[in-house]
């Protein structure tokens, strides 16, 4: 029987259509607004006859489905984003006339997207990789895109090498693998032949490349930019994002297991944090310096493979980013958002950094390929939130066009909203500076020191972090098939730190050491360690925003669970219950406590610390469950804090850990839950 539709008058554009008599659901329509009578069957000539070409409903549906995927980003394809705002702490007109920094307490809407670099859209979140850290500020004078990374330096100095870098890091073209990893010959071949990449390699092999959460990593603008004030005075500036929750990473074995347990781990973490009201926050800091400092600084401030230590130019905190709203639609927002380094506002300007100059071309060109039209700026996620007026018109998928007869400038027609003019007083002005020189292809000699800051980064790390870097180099290079490539990498490391290079060579089983790589400039050994470059030296000292995994079985002590839960809530931390069945377990008090995870779906790797609450009558269930033994063994191996009760002894013994307990193990029969939670502020028991 045909379904009936009622037209309920002219409300808005085209009126409203109601499906069925009760009006419970609005009518399904085609993209043209035509109501759809049957969405289950295509139009046929007879019950079992051929489909008719005139079935415009079926053809439109299939047509759109066939084209619903747009080309993914060549790099940064795997990304996740959220909406929020930037709050200006104090006005800084003496530094810049950028509008968003002129009024204390003003909140500017923004959209932030975090991403891996090398992997495709379907790759896992915990790949060892640089993370993109891009923020689109919707300011009152246009959009400003601060398109950076979670590492302050980069592999290359000139944008002309970017295709080579990315090609080498991606899947090898003849075999189509490996995916989302650099542990293969092509990448390390390129890197070993590119000395300028050495500094970035040290960062990429450090814990910075495997963050525990997107919420727990720093962000950097990478390049040197310019601040311009109303007087036209210029200062150089580098941008830093400092996570208020502190920095935290995982260990490599943990990353591998997280990718298997939950390849969407970072996405899920960010989504859950925002939905739970635990809004991720970063403070925006700037390193501001003048031309005199730039001239005296040991390295060229236009070299993207270099940073300026915070001890030399302190980071001035100027505001805070808060992410407080998830997207309504992933494709429309996170996938279609178009970041362009060229998107700056009055008060901010570019420098002559050759990598930045090339990015300004590349990003705009990329959006045309991905989004299909120069009108990608009309998409809501990319459109400015301030008024915009221009004479750009038409083109594929145009959604905004000038009204009236005038579409050129200058013109003599009367003033109107659709007839804009230049704004000499507040319009964007490039910083005026003399430019001259021969036309040539040349790499400045001031870019020639490739090892000194790599060494500085290495000596700034804690002993634990240095060990992780050594293991990372050994792991990655062990996947390289050609010995000469491995040898070239170690030859570069010899210019960074000889002992470190020997440790890597030993881990690879070298029979003899290669000679140090020829250096354009000798490595400086007078650069002091910079504690700001270490994650562990800047530990947050709190468990806030982290998650405890509590494994329970029938008969567990409910009072201990309540004590832990209360202390975690006070700390601003979370917990999840893991049980043999997702339905939960019955406590010693006879109450049924629901679980969030089943033991084989909630491994310890997805938690920051763990607790084992069991009973003498049910502990054998854990002993006989391989996943339960892995839960405890992995937590110990990954240096996590472990709380337990005496009833868990058989499980500890079954894991071979009876004589391995240390101060990172907390006996809840002797220690109060509140004290256990306080201990968790150290995040890991690295002494293990």
Tell me the CATH number at 494.
1.20.1370.20
Q: How far apart are CA 250 and CA 254, in angstroms?
A: 6
**Are residue 135 and residue 98 in the same domain, yes or no?**
yes
Asked whether residue 497 is domain-assigned, the answer is yes
Asked whether residue 249 is domain-assigned, the answer is yes
**Are residue 553 and residue 650 in the same domain, yes or no?**
yes
Q: Which residue among the candidates 76, 199, 450, 575 is catalytic per the annotation? A: 76
Asked whether residue 153 is domain-assigned, the answer is yes
**Are residue 270 and residue 306 in the same domain, yes or no?**
yes
pLDDT of residue 292: 97
| Count of structural domains within the chain | 3
What distances in angstroms separate CA 344 from CA 158, 349, 379, 415, one per listed residue?
A: 21, 7, 19, 27
Q: In three state form, how does the secondary structure of 471-524 look?
A: HHHHHHHHCCCCHHHHHHHHHHHCCCCHHHHHHHHHHHCCCCCCCCCCCCCCCC
Of 646, 655, 674, which Cα lies nearest the Cα of 604?
655
DSSP SS3 for 549: strand
Q: How far apart are CA 226 and CA 96, in angstroms?
A: 9
Q: Are 210 and 179 in contact (CB under 8 A)?
A: no
What distances in angstroms separate CA 657 from CA 43, 298, 604, 650, one per listed residue?
A: 68, 51, 16, 10
Greatest alpha-carbon span in the chain = 91
CB hemisphere CA count around 595 (13 angstroms): 24
Q: How far apart are CA 181 and CA 259, in angstroms?
A: 13
Query: Residue holding tokens 């009309």?
Result: 378
Please tell me what DSSP assigns to residue 658. T
**Are residue 123 and residue 246 in the same domain, yes or no?**
yes
Asked whether residue 155 is domain-assigned, the answer is yes
Of 127, 197, 111, which Cα lies nearest the Cα of 156?
197
Q: Are 111 and 383 in contact (CB under 8 A)?
A: no
**Are residue 190 and residue 267 in the same domain, yes or no?**
yes
**Are residue 489 and residue 543 in the same domain, yes or no?**
no
Q: What is the CA radius of gyration of the chain?
A: 29
Write out the H or E segment, with its range, that includes residue 368. helix 354-371
Given a cut of 70, the residues of the chain with pLDDT beneath it are: 1-23
ω before 410 within 30° of 0 (cis)? yes
Boundary residue ending a domain (357, 378, 399): 378
Q: What range does the domain containing 248 cover?
A: 79-378
Phi/psi at 60 (5° precision)? -65, -40
Asked whether residue 640 is domain-assigned, the answer is yes
Boundary residue ending a domain (354, 378, 402): 378
DSSP state letters, 213-265: -GGG--EE--S-EEEE-TT--EEEEEEEEEETT---B--HHHHHHHHHH-TTH
**Are residue 164 and residue 94 in the same domain, yes or no?**
yes
CATH number at residue 668: 3.40.50.880
CATH number at residue 207: 2.40.180.10
ω before 178 within 30° of 0 (cis)? yes
DSSP state letters, 106-153: -EEEEEEEEEESSS-TTS-TT-SS-EEEEEEEEEBTEEEEEEEESSSS
CA-CA-CA-CA torsion sign (153, 155, 158, 160)? negative
For residue 518, how many other CB atoms are within 10 A of its CB?
Answer: 8
pLDDT of residue 23: 63
For residue 163, how many other CB atoms are within 10 A of its CB?
Answer: 11
**Are residue 266 and residue 181 in the same domain, yes or no?**
yes
Q: Are 640 and 684 in contact (CB under 8 A)?
A: yes
**Are residue 510 and residue 616 in the same domain, yes or no?**
no
**Are residue 366 and residue 480 in the same domain, yes or no?**
no
pLDDT of residue 393: 87
Asked whether residue 12 is domain-assigned, the answer is no
Asked whether residue 17 is domain-assigned, the answer is no
Per the annotation, the verdict on 390 as an active-site residue is no
**Are residue 493 and residue 548 in the same domain, yes or no?**
no
pLDDT of residue 3: 37
Q: In what order do the strands lie in the sheet with 25-26?
A: 5-7, 17-19, 25-26
Cβ contacts of residue 9 below 8 Å, gap of 6+?
15, 16
CA-CA-CA-CA torsion sign (208, 214, 219, 221)? positive
Q: Which residue among the candidates 143, 149, 259, 343 is catalytic per the annotation? A: 149
CA-CA-CA-CA torsion sign (216, 221, 224, 227)? negative
Per the annotation, the verdict on 495 as an active-site residue is no
**Are residue 194 and residue 284 in the same domain, yes or no?**
yes
Asked whether residue 520 is domain-assigned, the answer is yes
Boundary residue ending a domain (378, 401, 434): 378
DSSP state letters, 607-650: SSEEEEE--TTTHHHHHT-HHHHHHHHHHHHTT--EEE-GGGHH
């Amino acid at each position: 029987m045909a379904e009936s539709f009622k037209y309920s008058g002219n409300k808005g554009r085209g009126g409203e259509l109601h499906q069925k008599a009760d009006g419970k659901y609005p009518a399904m329509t085609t993209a043209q607004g035509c109501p759809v009578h049957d969405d289950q069957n295509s139009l046929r000539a007879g019950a079992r006859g051929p489909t008719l070409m005139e079935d415009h409903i079926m053809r439109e549906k299939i047509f759109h489905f066939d084209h619903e995927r747009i080309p993914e980003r060549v790099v940064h394809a795997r990304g996740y984003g959220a909406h929020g705002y930037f709050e200006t702490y104090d006005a800084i007109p003496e530094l810049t006339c950028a509008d968003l920094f002129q009024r204390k307490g003003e909140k500017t809407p923004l959209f932030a997207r975090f991403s891996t670099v090398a992997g495709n859209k379907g790759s896992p979140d915990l790949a060892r990789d640089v993370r993109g850290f891009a923020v689109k500020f919707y300011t009152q004078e246009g959009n400003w895109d601060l398109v950076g990374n979670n590492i302050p330096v980069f592999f290359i100095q000139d944008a002309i090498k970017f295709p080579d870098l990315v090609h080498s890091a991606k899947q090898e073209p003849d075999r189509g693998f490996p995916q989302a990893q650099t542990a293969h010959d092509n990448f390390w071949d390129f890197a070993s032949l590119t000395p300028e990449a050495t500094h970035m390699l040290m960062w990429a092999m450090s814990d910075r490349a495997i963050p525990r959460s997107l919420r727990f990593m720093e962000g950097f603008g990478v390049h040197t930019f310019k601040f311009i004030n109303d007087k036209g005075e210029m200062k150089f500036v580098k941008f830093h994002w400092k996570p208020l929750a502190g920095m935290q990473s995982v260990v490599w074995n943990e990353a591998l297991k997280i990718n298997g347990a939950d390849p969407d781990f970072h996405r899920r973490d960010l989504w859950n944090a925002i939905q739970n009201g635990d809004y991720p926050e970063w403070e925006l800091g700037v390193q501001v310096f003048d031309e005199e400092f730039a001239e005296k600084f040991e390295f060229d401030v236009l070299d993207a493979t270099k940073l300026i230590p915070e001890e030399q130019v302190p980071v001035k905190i100027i505001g805070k980013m808060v992410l407080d709203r998830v997207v309504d639609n992933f494709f429309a927002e996170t996938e279609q958002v178009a970041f362009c380094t060229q998107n700056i506002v009055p008060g901010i300007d570019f420098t002559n950094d050759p990598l930045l100059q090339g990015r300004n071309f590349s990003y705009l060109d990329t959006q045309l390929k991905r989004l299909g039209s120069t009108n990608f700026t009309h998409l809501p996620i990319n459109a400015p939130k301030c008024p915009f007026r221009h004479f750009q018109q038409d083109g594929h998928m145009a959604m905004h066009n000038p009204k009236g007869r005038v579409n050129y400038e200058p013109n003599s027609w009367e003033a109107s909203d659709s007839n804009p003019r230049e704004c000499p007083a507040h319009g964007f002005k490039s910083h005026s500076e003399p430019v001259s020189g021969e036309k040539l292809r040349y790499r400045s000699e001031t870019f020639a020191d490739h090892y000194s800051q790599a060494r500085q980064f290495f000596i700034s790390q804690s002993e634990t972090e240095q060990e992780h870097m050594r293991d990372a180099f050994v792991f990655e290079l062990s996947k390289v098939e050609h010995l000469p490539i491995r040898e070239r990498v170690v030859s570069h490391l010899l210019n960074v730190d000889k002992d470190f290079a020997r440790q890597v060579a030993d881990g690879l089983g070298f029979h003899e050491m290669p000679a140090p790589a020829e250096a354009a400039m000798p490595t400086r050994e007078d650069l002091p360690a910079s504690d700001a470059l270490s994650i562990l030296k800047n530990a947050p000292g709190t468990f806030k925003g982290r998650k405890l995994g509590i494994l329970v079985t029938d008969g567990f002590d409910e009072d201990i669970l309540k004590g832990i839960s209360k202390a975690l809530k006070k700390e601003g931390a979370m917990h999840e219950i893991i049980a043999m069945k997702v339905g939960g377990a019955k406590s010693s008090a006879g109450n049924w406590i629901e679980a969030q995870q089943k033991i084989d779906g909630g491994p310890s790797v997805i938690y920051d610390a763990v607790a084992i609450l069991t009973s003498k009558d049910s502990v054998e269930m854990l002993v006989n469950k391989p996943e339960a033994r892995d839960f405890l063994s992995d937590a110990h191996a990954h240096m996590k804090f472990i709380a337990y009760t005496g009833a868990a002894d058989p499980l500890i013994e079954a894991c071979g850990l009876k004589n391995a307990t240390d101060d990172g193990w907390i006996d809840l029969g002797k220690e109060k839950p509140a004290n256990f939670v306080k201990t968790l502020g150290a995040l890991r028991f690295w002494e293990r």
